Amino acid sequence: MRKTAYSREFLEEIQSERLKQIITLAKKDVPFYRKRLANLSRFEHFPLVTRDLLRGEPTEHFVADHFDPKRCVKSSTSGTSGKVITVLNDSSRFVSSIASLMRRLDRVGLSFGFRLAEIARTDAAVLPSWDEKFNFLTGMSRLFRLNLSTSEMEESLTSLHYFDPEVLWGYTSNLIRLGTLVEEYHISLRPKVVYPFGEKLTENARRFLGRVFSAPVHDAYGLMEAGLVAWQCENLSYHLDEERVLVELVQPDQPSQRGERQVVLTTLTNKVMPFLRYATGDYAIESKSSCDCGMKLRTVKVQGRTRELFFDQDDKPLEWDRLEHYLNSLDVYTWQVIQPENGHVHINLASDDVNTAQVEQEVRNLLINMKKIIISRSPIEELQTVVGKMPVVLGKGDQISDDLCSCLQYR
């Protein structure tokens, strides 16, 4: 991966070869694609696979015939945007994932044997089981798991201090909670890098985490269905993980003036359950210039799903960029925007002290054609779901849990 990152020609050669192999496998061995692609030869003519289509088919229709599902590692989506999707993975996917992680760590001067602290709200592992097994067999990392729900927080934080982690890893909201506890208990942590994952990283969260841990905060974008898709280098550019996934940016039905395109993925290393031209529902803008870090991997600006989530009372899309820019300017840990129905917006601010009345007036000036705007201040842990994850944006089509929307006053 070091070689492919710096040679565009070699990278495209590897990607092309893996794409041919995965197409051949899918047409021959995967029931769903065997029927769907029987008379199609050109990749760009393959129909898109949407999440709704994926949810409507039995999992076994996407699994290659020659693999025993019982011998594969299963993972599942969170179900925020609908029915949970189960994904089966083989060793080739997790080996490529480990190689990708080591490339990221190499950028900050780390290698095998690095000390990693996993921050969670449970004693259960958040790291995938195959990652832990690989760590044990190779000594890739030394692991410390901190449970934010423990009744012995001071002792746990002291142990974390003496472990002296080089990498902090966890959901963004859990890392924020750790940061507030570190300040409360006057614990010193000096990691070499902070790796948030699983949630949108707001600029507020990046500022706070960078300040409290005195370390660079490098975000990543991925999906359970495909693994890591893009990750930030030291210049905070999102580089696509092109050896592992082919990313197409497809023009939406209603073109965006800013150049937003839908992210369509083809996985290149999972030979158990490959995804060909999978429409993620996320949007991104491709960078026109190369990154100064020297890598030849394509770069994008990930927009997520906000383009399709928020509307005013006349069903017109909100000016999301202006709202996001304003929220990112606030002195809060992070924020959350929920829209149960068009014309209604509830904004939760994770903060110890913020003038919600002033924020509400500013938001009303930005979002004029709205029926109702509610601004609330909440501790970060109250914005998390039962699994400890905090969705930053939730639209009316998402599965909004009762613990998140009980305060919305719309019922």
pLDDT tens digit string along 55-83? 888 888 999 997 776 777 777 665 555 56
CA–CA distance, 232 with 148 (Å, rounded to integer) = 26
- pTM higher than 0.85, yes or no? yes
Between residues 359 and 126, the one the model is more confident about: 359
Banded model confidence at residue 15, pLDDT cuts 50, 70, 90: very high
Which single residue is written with the structure tokens 């963004």? 172
Q: Report whether 112 contacts 138 (CB < 8 A).
A: yes
Q: What architecture (CATH level 2) is domain 309-405? A: 2-Layer Sandwich (3.30)
What letter does residue 44 receive in the DSSP assignment?
G
CA–CA distance, 377 with 351 (Å, rounded to integer) = 6
Cα torsion angle, 268, 135, 113, 125, sign: positive
250 three-class SS: strand
Banded model confidence at residue 213, pLDDT cuts 50, 70, 90: very high
Domain positions in the chain: 2-94+222-306, 109-217, 309-405
CATH class of 2-94+222-306: alpha beta
Q: Give Cβ neighbours of residue 118 (< 8 Å, ≥ 6 apart).
A: 125, 126, 127, 143, 144, 145, 146, 169, 170
Closest Cα partner for 77 from 310, 339, 280, 337? Answer: 280
Other C-beta atoms within 10 Å of 397: how many? 13
φ/ψ of 299, rounded to 5, equals -120, 150
Least confident of 42-51, 147-156, 347-356, 395-404: 395-404
Tokens (6 digits) for 398: 């998402």
CATH class of 109-217: alpha beta
| pLDDT tens digits for range 330-346 | 999 999 999 989 999 99
CA–CA distance, 391 with 298 (Å, rounded to integer) = 27
Percent of the chain with pLDDT over 90: 53
Cα torsion angle, 61, 62, 66, 71, sign: negative
Say if residue 262's pLDDT is above 70.
Answer: yes
Say if residue 98's pLDDT is above 90.
Answer: no
Domains 2-94+222-306 and 109-217 equal at CATH topology level:
yes
